[in-house]
Amino acid sequence: MNQTISKAENYFLNTYNRYPIVLKSGEGVYLYDDAGKKYLDFAAGIGVFALGYQNKIYNEALKTQIDQLIHTSNLFYNKPSADAAEKFARVSGMEKVFFTNSGTEAIEGAIKIARKYYFNKTGSPEGEIIAMMHSFHGRSMGALAVTGQPKYQEAFGPMMPNIKFAQFNNLASVKEQINEKTCAILMETIQGEGGLYPATADFLIGVKKLCEEHDLLLMLDEIQCGMGRAGEMFAYQTYGVIPDVITAAKALGCGIPVGAFAAKGKAADVLEPGDHGTTYGYNPLAGAAVDVVLDIYEQTELLAHVKKVSYYLEDELNELVSDYSCVKERRGKGLMQALELDRPVKDIIAKTQELGLIIITAGSNVLRFLPPLVIEKKQIDEMISILKSSLDFVYNKDRN
Protein backbone atom coordinates (compact mmCIF):
# COMPACT_ATOMS: atom_id res chain seq x y z
CA MET A 1 0.00 0.00 0.00
CA ASN A 2 2.68 2.48 0.98
CA GLN A 3 4.63 1.80 -2.22
CA THR A 4 1.58 2.45 -4.39
CA ILE A 5 0.70 5.63 -2.51
CA SER A 6 4.30 6.86 -2.69
CA LYS A 7 4.47 6.19 -6.43
CA ALA A 8 1.17 7.97 -7.03
CA GLU A 9 2.24 10.99 -5.00
CA ASN A 10 5.51 11.16 -6.93
CA TYR A 11 4.01 10.98 -10.41
CA PHE A 12 0.42 12.24 -10.29
CA LEU A 13 -0.31 15.93 -10.57
CA ASN A 14 -1.26 17.12 -7.10
CA THR A 15 -4.95 17.77 -7.78
CA TYR A 16 -6.60 15.43 -5.24
CA ASN A 17 -6.47 14.87 -1.51
CA ARG A 18 -6.89 11.11 -1.62
CA TYR A 19 -7.73 8.84 1.28
CA PRO A 20 -4.86 6.48 2.27
CA ILE A 21 -6.54 3.39 0.81
CA VAL A 22 -5.41 1.39 -2.23
CA LEU A 23 -8.45 -0.35 -3.67
CA LYS A 24 -7.87 -3.58 -5.55
CA SER A 25 -11.18 -5.34 -6.24
CA GLY A 26 -14.91 -5.25 -5.76
CA GLU A 27 -17.80 -7.67 -5.40
CA GLY A 28 -21.44 -6.63 -5.22
CA VAL A 29 -21.61 -3.54 -2.99
CA TYR A 30 -18.25 -4.16 -1.33
CA LEU A 31 -14.73 -3.02 -2.15
CA TYR A 32 -11.46 -4.61 -1.04
CA ASP A 33 -8.09 -2.95 -0.57
CA ASP A 34 -4.72 -4.47 -1.42
CA ALA A 35 -4.46 -5.95 2.07
CA GLY A 36 -7.81 -7.69 1.71
CA LYS A 37 -9.78 -5.36 4.00
CA LYS A 38 -13.49 -5.20 3.11
CA TYR A 39 -15.43 -1.92 2.79
CA LEU A 40 -19.16 -1.42 2.37
CA ASP A 41 -19.37 1.07 -0.49
CA PHE A 42 -21.80 3.96 -0.03
CA ALA A 43 -20.07 6.16 -2.60
CA ALA A 44 -20.16 3.97 -5.75
CA GLY A 45 -17.26 5.82 -7.34
CA ILE A 46 -19.16 9.11 -6.80
CA GLY A 47 -22.39 7.71 -8.15
CA VAL A 48 -20.89 5.71 -11.02
CA PHE A 49 -21.18 2.02 -10.13
CA ALA A 50 -24.96 1.80 -9.99
CA LEU A 51 -24.94 -1.95 -10.71
CA GLY A 52 -22.35 -2.80 -8.09
CA TYR A 53 -19.13 -4.62 -8.83
CA GLN A 54 -18.70 -7.73 -10.98
CA ASN A 55 -22.13 -7.68 -12.57
CA LYS A 56 -21.79 -10.68 -14.86
CA ILE A 57 -24.10 -9.48 -17.63
CA TYR A 58 -22.32 -6.12 -17.78
CA ASN A 59 -18.83 -7.65 -17.69
CA GLU A 60 -19.59 -10.22 -20.38
CA ALA A 61 -21.06 -7.59 -22.71
CA LEU A 62 -17.88 -5.50 -22.44
CA LYS A 63 -15.59 -8.52 -22.87
CA THR A 64 -17.49 -9.51 -25.99
CA GLN A 65 -17.21 -6.01 -27.43
CA ILE A 66 -13.50 -5.79 -26.62
CA ASP A 67 -12.93 -8.97 -28.61
CA GLN A 68 -14.82 -7.47 -31.58
CA LEU A 69 -14.01 -3.77 -31.85
CA ILE A 70 -13.14 -1.02 -29.37
CA HIS A 71 -12.75 2.09 -31.51
CA THR A 72 -13.41 3.27 -35.06
CA SER A 73 -13.85 7.10 -34.98
CA ASN A 74 -16.87 9.10 -36.03
CA LEU A 75 -16.00 8.74 -39.71
CA PHE A 76 -17.97 5.49 -39.56
CA TYR A 77 -21.07 4.02 -37.89
CA ASN A 78 -21.19 1.22 -35.34
CA LYS A 79 -24.14 -0.76 -34.02
CA PRO A 80 -23.53 -0.56 -30.22
CA SER A 81 -23.60 3.24 -30.19
CA ALA A 82 -26.64 3.42 -32.47
CA ASP A 83 -28.50 0.98 -30.20
CA ALA A 84 -27.42 2.93 -27.12
CA ALA A 85 -28.59 6.24 -28.61
CA GLU A 86 -31.99 4.79 -29.45
CA LYS A 87 -32.47 3.45 -25.91
CA PHE A 88 -31.17 6.63 -24.26
CA ALA A 89 -33.57 8.76 -26.28
CA ARG A 90 -36.46 6.49 -25.31
CA VAL A 91 -35.80 6.50 -21.56
CA SER A 92 -34.95 10.21 -21.38
CA GLY A 93 -37.70 11.59 -23.61
CA MET A 94 -35.07 13.33 -25.75
CA GLU A 95 -34.76 13.11 -29.53
CA LYS A 96 -31.06 13.46 -30.37
CA VAL A 97 -28.00 12.48 -28.34
CA PHE A 98 -24.26 13.16 -28.49
CA PHE A 99 -22.00 10.75 -26.58
CA THR A 100 -19.01 12.33 -24.84
CA ASN A 101 -16.19 10.99 -22.68
CA SER A 102 -17.25 12.66 -19.43
CA GLY A 103 -19.81 14.77 -17.65
CA THR A 104 -17.90 18.01 -17.98
CA GLU A 105 -17.72 17.49 -21.76
CA ALA A 106 -21.48 16.96 -21.78
CA ILE A 107 -21.88 20.36 -20.11
CA GLU A 108 -19.62 21.92 -22.75
CA GLY A 109 -21.90 20.53 -25.44
CA ALA A 110 -25.02 21.85 -23.72
CA ILE A 111 -23.45 25.32 -23.51
CA LYS A 112 -22.73 25.22 -27.24
CA ILE A 113 -26.34 24.27 -28.02
CA ALA A 114 -27.55 27.26 -25.97
CA ARG A 115 -25.17 29.72 -27.62
CA LYS A 116 -25.88 28.41 -31.14
CA TYR A 117 -29.63 28.52 -30.47
CA TYR A 118 -29.39 32.23 -29.67
CA PHE A 119 -27.10 32.85 -32.64
CA ASN A 120 -29.55 31.19 -35.00
CA LYS A 121 -32.37 33.39 -33.67
CA THR A 122 -30.56 36.71 -33.58
CA GLY A 123 -27.32 36.46 -35.54
CA SER A 124 -25.49 37.53 -32.38
CA PRO A 125 -23.00 35.46 -30.34
CA GLU A 126 -23.92 37.37 -27.16
CA GLY A 127 -26.47 34.94 -25.72
CA GLU A 128 -26.52 34.78 -21.91
CA ILE A 129 -26.95 31.67 -19.79
CA ILE A 130 -28.45 31.78 -16.31
CA ALA A 131 -26.87 29.23 -13.97
CA MET A 132 -27.35 28.66 -10.24
CA MET A 133 -25.36 29.67 -7.18
CA HIS A 134 -23.71 26.75 -5.35
CA SER A 135 -23.93 24.61 -8.48
CA PHE A 136 -21.20 22.34 -9.80
CA HIS A 137 -20.96 21.39 -13.47
CA GLY A 138 -17.33 20.37 -13.97
CA ARG A 139 -13.79 21.71 -14.14
CA SER A 140 -13.15 22.46 -17.81
CA MET A 141 -13.26 26.16 -18.60
CA GLY A 142 -16.79 26.26 -19.98
CA ALA A 143 -18.23 24.04 -17.25
CA LEU A 144 -16.30 26.04 -14.66
CA ALA A 145 -17.82 29.26 -15.94
CA VAL A 146 -21.36 28.02 -15.18
CA THR A 147 -20.36 26.59 -11.79
CA GLY A 148 -21.73 28.85 -9.06
CA GLN A 149 -18.87 28.43 -6.58
CA PRO A 150 -16.17 31.11 -6.78
CA LYS A 151 -13.64 28.95 -4.92
CA TYR A 152 -13.30 26.80 -8.03
CA GLN A 153 -12.97 29.78 -10.37
CA GLU A 154 -10.78 32.39 -8.72
CA ALA A 155 -7.39 31.07 -9.92
CA PHE A 156 -8.53 30.51 -13.50
CA GLY A 157 -10.21 33.73 -14.59
CA PRO A 158 -11.35 35.50 -16.51
CA MET A 159 -14.29 33.18 -16.95
CA MET A 160 -16.29 32.78 -20.15
CA PRO A 161 -18.53 35.88 -20.42
CA ASN A 162 -22.31 36.18 -20.53
CA ILE A 163 -23.02 33.93 -17.55
CA LYS A 164 -25.35 35.08 -14.78
CA PHE A 165 -26.19 33.38 -11.52
CA ALA A 166 -29.53 33.08 -9.73
CA GLN A 167 -30.41 31.59 -6.37
CA PHE A 168 -31.40 27.94 -6.51
CA ASN A 169 -35.03 27.35 -5.45
CA ASN A 170 -35.76 31.08 -5.67
CA LEU A 171 -37.91 31.76 -8.73
CA ALA A 172 -37.91 35.52 -8.24
CA SER A 173 -34.12 35.48 -8.41
CA VAL A 174 -34.28 33.73 -11.78
CA LYS A 175 -36.85 36.19 -13.14
CA GLU A 176 -34.59 39.10 -12.19
CA GLN A 177 -31.78 37.76 -14.39
CA ILE A 178 -33.81 37.31 -17.58
CA ASN A 179 -33.39 39.89 -20.33
CA GLU A 180 -33.45 40.05 -24.14
CA LYS A 181 -30.05 38.31 -24.35
CA THR A 182 -30.95 35.32 -22.19
CA CYS A 183 -30.84 32.09 -24.18
CA ALA A 184 -30.95 29.32 -21.58
CA ILE A 185 -31.30 28.39 -17.91
CA LEU A 186 -28.92 25.68 -16.67
CA MET A 187 -29.30 23.88 -13.37
CA GLU A 188 -28.78 20.58 -11.60
CA THR A 189 -32.10 18.95 -10.85
CA ILE A 190 -30.51 17.99 -7.54
CA GLN A 191 -27.45 20.00 -6.56
CA GLY A 192 -24.68 17.56 -5.63
CA GLU A 193 -21.30 19.05 -4.78
CA GLY A 194 -23.00 22.20 -3.52
CA GLY A 195 -24.43 20.37 -0.51
CA LEU A 196 -27.08 18.08 -2.01
CA TYR A 197 -30.20 20.16 -2.42
CA PRO A 198 -33.10 18.90 -4.57
CA ALA A 199 -35.03 21.44 -6.61
CA THR A 200 -38.47 22.11 -5.20
CA ALA A 201 -41.34 21.21 -7.49
CA ASP A 202 -42.59 24.80 -7.54
CA PHE A 203 -39.16 26.06 -8.54
CA LEU A 204 -38.48 23.59 -11.34
CA ILE A 205 -41.98 23.88 -12.77
CA GLY A 206 -41.73 27.66 -12.49
CA VAL A 207 -38.40 27.74 -14.31
CA LYS A 208 -39.87 25.59 -17.08
CA LYS A 209 -42.74 28.08 -17.49
CA LEU A 210 -40.30 30.98 -17.65
CA CYS A 211 -38.39 29.21 -20.40
CA GLU A 212 -41.60 28.70 -22.37
CA GLU A 213 -42.67 32.32 -21.91
CA HIS A 214 -39.32 33.79 -23.00
CA ASP A 215 -38.30 31.18 -25.62
CA LEU A 216 -35.36 29.95 -23.55
CA LEU A 217 -33.82 26.51 -23.34
CA LEU A 218 -34.20 24.63 -20.06
CA MET A 219 -31.01 22.62 -19.60
CA LEU A 220 -30.85 20.14 -16.72
CA ASP A 221 -27.63 18.63 -15.43
CA GLU A 222 -28.42 15.02 -14.51
CA ILE A 223 -24.83 13.82 -14.38
CA GLN A 224 -25.03 12.74 -10.74
CA CYS A 225 -28.75 12.65 -10.02
CA GLY A 226 -29.80 10.85 -13.20
CA MET A 227 -29.69 7.21 -14.27
CA GLY A 228 -32.15 6.00 -11.64
CA ARG A 229 -30.64 7.56 -8.56
CA ALA A 230 -33.74 9.62 -7.73
CA GLY A 231 -36.16 6.74 -8.35
CA GLU A 232 -36.94 7.42 -12.01
CA MET A 233 -34.47 7.10 -14.85
CA PHE A 234 -33.88 10.85 -14.62
CA ALA A 235 -34.63 13.09 -11.66
CA TYR A 236 -36.67 15.57 -13.72
CA GLN A 237 -39.14 12.76 -14.41
CA THR A 238 -40.07 12.77 -10.71
CA TYR A 239 -41.30 16.36 -11.22
CA GLY A 240 -43.20 15.81 -14.47
CA VAL A 241 -40.99 18.36 -16.24
CA ILE A 242 -39.44 17.79 -19.67
CA PRO A 243 -36.35 19.93 -20.38
CA ASP A 244 -34.99 20.93 -23.77
CA VAL A 245 -31.45 19.70 -23.08
CA ILE A 246 -30.04 17.24 -20.55
CA THR A 247 -26.58 16.06 -19.60
CA ALA A 248 -25.70 12.62 -18.24
CA ALA A 249 -22.61 10.64 -17.29
CA LYS A 250 -21.43 8.69 -14.19
CA ALA A 251 -23.82 5.69 -14.02
CA LEU A 252 -24.53 5.97 -17.75
CA GLY A 253 -21.57 3.67 -18.38
CA CYS A 254 -21.22 2.18 -14.87
CA GLY A 255 -17.44 2.47 -14.99
CA ILE A 256 -16.68 2.95 -18.68
CA PRO A 257 -15.95 6.68 -19.20
CA VAL A 258 -18.93 7.95 -21.15
CA GLY A 259 -21.24 10.94 -20.90
CA ALA A 260 -23.97 12.40 -23.05
CA PHE A 261 -25.85 15.55 -23.83
CA ALA A 262 -29.21 15.20 -25.48
CA ALA A 263 -31.88 17.52 -26.80
CA LYS A 264 -35.43 17.59 -28.06
CA GLY A 265 -37.75 19.91 -29.95
CA LYS A 266 -36.29 23.30 -30.82
CA ALA A 267 -32.89 22.34 -29.38
CA ALA A 268 -32.51 19.02 -31.22
CA ASP A 269 -31.32 20.34 -34.59
CA VAL A 270 -29.29 23.35 -33.49
CA LEU A 271 -25.86 21.80 -33.99
CA GLU A 272 -24.71 21.02 -37.53
CA PRO A 273 -21.72 19.09 -38.95
CA GLY A 274 -18.56 20.90 -37.85
CA ASP A 275 -20.15 22.56 -34.79
CA HIS A 276 -18.98 19.88 -32.37
CA GLY A 277 -16.94 16.68 -32.34
CA THR A 278 -15.04 14.06 -30.40
CA THR A 279 -12.46 11.40 -31.17
CA TYR A 280 -13.51 8.81 -28.59
CA GLY A 281 -17.21 9.58 -28.23
CA TYR A 282 -19.55 7.02 -29.80
CA ASN A 283 -16.85 4.37 -29.79
CA PRO A 284 -18.20 0.78 -29.79
CA LEU A 285 -16.97 -0.03 -26.28
CA ALA A 286 -18.69 2.98 -24.70
CA GLY A 287 -21.78 2.28 -26.79
CA ALA A 288 -21.85 -1.33 -25.61
CA ALA A 289 -21.58 -0.15 -21.99
CA VAL A 290 -24.52 2.26 -22.28
CA ASP A 291 -26.55 -0.32 -24.21
CA VAL A 292 -26.12 -3.10 -21.64
CA VAL A 293 -26.59 -0.74 -18.67
CA LEU A 294 -29.96 0.39 -20.00
CA ASP A 295 -30.92 -3.23 -20.68
CA ILE A 296 -30.04 -4.27 -17.12
CA TYR A 297 -32.01 -1.39 -15.62
CA GLU A 298 -35.09 -2.53 -17.49
CA GLN A 299 -34.70 -6.28 -17.11
CA THR A 300 -34.05 -6.17 -13.36
CA GLU A 301 -36.71 -3.53 -12.59
CA LEU A 302 -33.97 -1.53 -10.90
CA LEU A 303 -36.01 1.66 -10.60
CA ALA A 304 -38.70 -0.10 -8.56
CA HIS A 305 -35.97 -1.42 -6.28
CA VAL A 306 -34.50 2.07 -5.83
CA LYS A 307 -37.88 3.45 -4.79
CA LYS A 308 -38.36 0.67 -2.27
CA VAL A 309 -34.98 0.83 -0.55
CA SER A 310 -34.69 4.62 -0.70
CA TYR A 311 -37.70 5.01 1.59
CA TYR A 312 -35.98 2.73 4.07
CA LEU A 313 -32.71 4.68 3.81
CA GLU A 314 -34.54 7.96 4.38
CA ASP A 315 -36.25 6.60 7.48
CA GLU A 316 -32.98 5.35 8.93
CA LEU A 317 -31.20 8.64 8.27
CA ASN A 318 -34.12 10.57 9.76
CA GLU A 319 -33.68 8.57 12.95
CA LEU A 320 -30.08 9.76 13.15
CA VAL A 321 -31.34 13.34 12.94
CA SER A 322 -33.63 12.60 15.88
CA ASP A 323 -31.03 10.69 17.90
CA TYR A 324 -27.96 12.91 17.51
CA SER A 325 -27.90 16.61 18.30
CA CYS A 326 -24.89 17.08 16.00
CA VAL A 327 -26.90 15.86 12.98
CA LYS A 328 -28.98 18.82 11.86
CA GLU A 329 -30.81 17.73 8.72
CA ARG A 330 -31.37 14.99 6.17
CA ARG A 331 -32.02 15.97 2.60
CA GLY A 332 -32.01 14.27 -0.74
CA LYS A 333 -34.06 12.20 -3.13
CA GLY A 334 -33.97 8.45 -3.78
CA LEU A 335 -30.52 6.99 -3.26
CA MET A 336 -28.88 10.42 -3.32
CA GLN A 337 -28.97 11.45 0.32
CA ALA A 338 -27.07 13.70 2.70
CA LEU A 339 -26.77 14.45 6.39
CA GLU A 340 -25.74 17.94 7.42
CA LEU A 341 -23.85 18.12 10.69
CA ASP A 342 -23.09 21.11 12.89
CA ARG A 343 -19.35 20.56 12.50
CA PRO A 344 -16.75 19.28 9.98
CA VAL A 345 -17.11 15.59 9.12
CA LYS A 346 -13.49 14.78 8.30
CA ASP A 347 -12.97 12.71 11.46
CA ILE A 348 -16.24 10.83 10.87
CA ILE A 349 -15.10 9.88 7.36
CA ALA A 350 -11.80 8.57 8.75
CA LYS A 351 -13.54 6.52 11.45
CA THR A 352 -16.04 4.96 9.06
CA GLN A 353 -13.17 3.91 6.80
CA GLU A 354 -11.42 2.35 9.78
CA LEU A 355 -14.62 0.40 10.51
CA GLY A 356 -15.08 -0.70 6.89
CA LEU A 357 -17.49 1.85 5.41
CA ILE A 358 -16.90 4.27 2.53
CA ILE A 359 -18.97 7.45 2.48
CA ILE A 360 -17.99 10.82 1.04
CA THR A 361 -18.70 14.50 1.62
CA ALA A 362 -20.67 17.24 -0.14
CA GLY A 363 -19.06 20.12 1.70
CA SER A 364 -17.01 20.22 4.87
CA ASN A 365 -19.96 19.46 7.16
CA VAL A 366 -22.11 17.24 4.91
CA LEU A 367 -22.03 13.44 4.64
CA ARG A 368 -23.13 12.18 1.22
CA PHE A 369 -24.66 8.75 0.56
CA LEU A 370 -24.49 7.43 -3.03
CA PRO A 371 -24.61 3.63 -2.73
CA PRO A 372 -24.86 1.32 -5.72
CA LEU A 373 -28.51 1.18 -6.75
CA VAL A 374 -28.56 -2.56 -6.04
CA ILE A 375 -28.08 -1.93 -2.31
CA GLU A 376 -30.34 -3.97 0.00
CA LYS A 377 -31.95 -3.11 3.34
CA LYS A 378 -29.52 -5.35 5.24
CA GLN A 379 -26.59 -3.34 3.87
CA ILE A 380 -28.33 -0.09 4.83
CA ASP A 381 -28.58 -1.53 8.35
CA GLU A 382 -24.86 -2.36 8.23
CA MET A 383 -24.05 1.19 7.14
CA ILE A 384 -26.20 2.74 9.87
CA SER A 385 -24.57 0.57 12.51
CA ILE A 386 -21.07 1.63 11.45
CA LEU A 387 -22.09 5.27 11.19
CA LYS A 388 -23.60 5.24 14.67
CA SER A 389 -20.44 3.69 16.08
CA SER A 390 -18.40 6.36 14.34
CA LEU A 391 -20.59 9.19 15.61
CA ASP A 392 -20.46 7.79 19.14
CA PHE A 393 -16.69 7.41 19.05
CA VAL A 394 -15.79 10.74 17.43
CA TYR A 395 -18.36 12.87 19.22
CA ASN A 396 -18.42 10.98 22.52
CA LYS A 397 -22.05 9.90 22.25
CA ASP A 398 -23.42 13.32 21.37
CA ARG A 399 -27.01 12.09 21.41
CA ASN A 400 -30.25 13.94 21.99
pLDDT tens track for 169-222: 999 999 999 999 999 999 999 999 999 999 999 999 999 999 999 999 999 999
Q: What percent of the chain has pLDDT over 70?
A: 99
pLDDT at 400 over 80: no
- Look up residue 294 and give its amino acid: L
222 and 314 part of one domain? no
The verdict on residue 400 lying in a domain is: no
Q: Express each pLDDT in 158-179 by its tens digit.
A: 999 999 999 999 999 999 999 9
SS3 386: helix
Range of the domain at 37: 2-54+302-394
Average pLDDT estimate for 298-317: 97
Q: How far apart are CA 209 and CA 202, in angstroms?
A: 10
119 and 164 housed in the same domain: yes
Residues 73 and 36 in one domain: no
Asked whether residue 237 is assigned to any structural domain, the reply reads yes
Asked whether residue 156 falls in the same domain as residue 269, the answer is yes
Which among 128, 26, 96, 131 has a CA at the least distance from the CA of 358? 26
pLDDT at 398: 62
Q: Is 132 helix (H, G, I), strand (E, B) or coil?
A: strand
Claim to verify: residue 272 and residue 152 sit in the same structural domain: yes
136 plus 222 within the same structural domain: yes
Q: 338 phi and psi, to 5 degrees?
A: -145, 150
Q: Is the peptide bond preceding residue 158 cis, with omega within 30 degrees of 0?
A: yes
Pick the last residue of a domain from 268, 299, 330. 299
64 found inside a domain: no
pTM over 0.85: yes
> What confidence tens digit (pLDDT) does each residue in 214-261 have?
999 999 999 999 999 999 999 999 999 999 999 999 999 999 999 999
Which residues 6+ apart lie within 8 Å of 264 measured at CB?
93, 94, 95, 96, 242, 244
The pLDDT tens digits of the residues spanning 322-331 come to: 999 999 999 9
Q: Both 345 and 382 in a single domain?
A: yes
Reported as a pLDDT band with limits 50, 70 and 90, residue 396 is confident
